[in-house]
């Protein structure tokens, strides 16, 4: 009785010995330029969007290329982008997998009026760091075979940290700005002297 591998698993099994010790997969990113209709077109007649992320195929080659160009649309393919999995980022992959739609995160930048993907990740933490750095990040859903591959990695490497009980703020000792013990009184200070 033989093992029936999917095309994805066959590609991984074929390149696995040639890879570093980190699991990874090659993907191709498709970026699409589309025209904008309506009032927004006054400021920006077109925009770039992430169209899709697919597993690398031999026919894609290794160099970026224009797939097509029409009057209102243009598409570019960026093949041979590597997505690596890191053990210390297992929580980021876990967070991605626990969303309703796990996805690829793609950081892209404009270069000579063309959108160019720079990095692709499956980590929620990577996407958050990129967004914090004011980068352009878009996402598209991952296929089921990639989700299963990522789930196997998370199952092996992600350890859920037990939550530690935090002491309520009301029980912490008070200190002044110099670190000396301070006290709070609920009585009103007595005024000395008369009215006025």
| Three state DSSP letters for 153-167 | HHHHHCCCCCCCCCC
Could you list the pLDDT tens digit for every one of the 196 residues in the chain? 344 556 666 666 555 555 557 899 999 999 999 999 888 888 888 999 999 999 999 999 999 999 999 999 999 999 999 999 999 999 999 999 999 999 999 999 999 999 999 999 999 999 999 999 999 999 999 999 999 999 999 999 998 877 777 766 666 677 777 778 776 677 776 766 656 5
Instruction: Report how far residue 96's alpha carbon sits from residue 93's, in angstroms, rounded to the nearest whole number.
Output: 5
**Separation of first and last alpha carbons in the chain:** 100
Q: Transcribe 130-192 into DSSP letters.
A: HHHTT-EEEEEEPPHHHHHHHHHHHHHH--PPPPPPPPPGGGSPPB-TTS-B-----SPPPPP
Q: Among 75, 68, 70, which Cα is nearest to 32's?
A: 75
| pLDDT given for residue 163 in this prediction | 78
Return the number of other C-beta atoms located less than 10 Å from residue 147's C-beta.
Answer: 17
Whether the model clears a pTM of 0.75, i.e. scores above it, the answer is: no
Q: Among 6, 25, 114, which Cα is nearest to 67's?
A: 114
| pLDDT given for residue 3 in this prediction | 47
| pLDDT given for residue 44 in this prediction | 86
């Amino acid at each position: 009785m033989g093992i029936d591998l999917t095309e994805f698993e066959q590609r991984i099994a074929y390149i696995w010995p040639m890879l570093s010790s980190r699991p990874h997969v090659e993907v191709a990113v498709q970026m699409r330029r589309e025209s904008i209709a309506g009032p927004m077109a006054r400021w920006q007649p077109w925009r770039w969007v992430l169209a899709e992320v697919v597993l690398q195929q031999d026919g894609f080659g290794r160099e970026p290329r224009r797939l097509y160009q029409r009057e209102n649309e243009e598409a570019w393919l960026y093949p041979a982008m590597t997505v690596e999995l890191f053990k210390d980022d297992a929580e980021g992959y876990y967070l991605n997998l626990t969303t309703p739609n796990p996805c690829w995160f793609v950081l892209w930048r404009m270069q000579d009026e063309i959108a160019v993907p720079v990095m692709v990740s499956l980590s929620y933490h990577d996407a958050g760091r990129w967004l914090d750095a004011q980068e352009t990040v878009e996402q598209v859903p991952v296929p089921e075979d990639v989700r299963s591959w990522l789930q196997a990695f998370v199952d092996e490497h992600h350890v859920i940290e037990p939550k530690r009980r935090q002491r309520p703020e009301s029980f912490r000792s008070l200190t002044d700005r110099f670190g000396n013990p301070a006290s709070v009184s609920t009585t009103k200070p007595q005024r000395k002297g008369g009215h006025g």
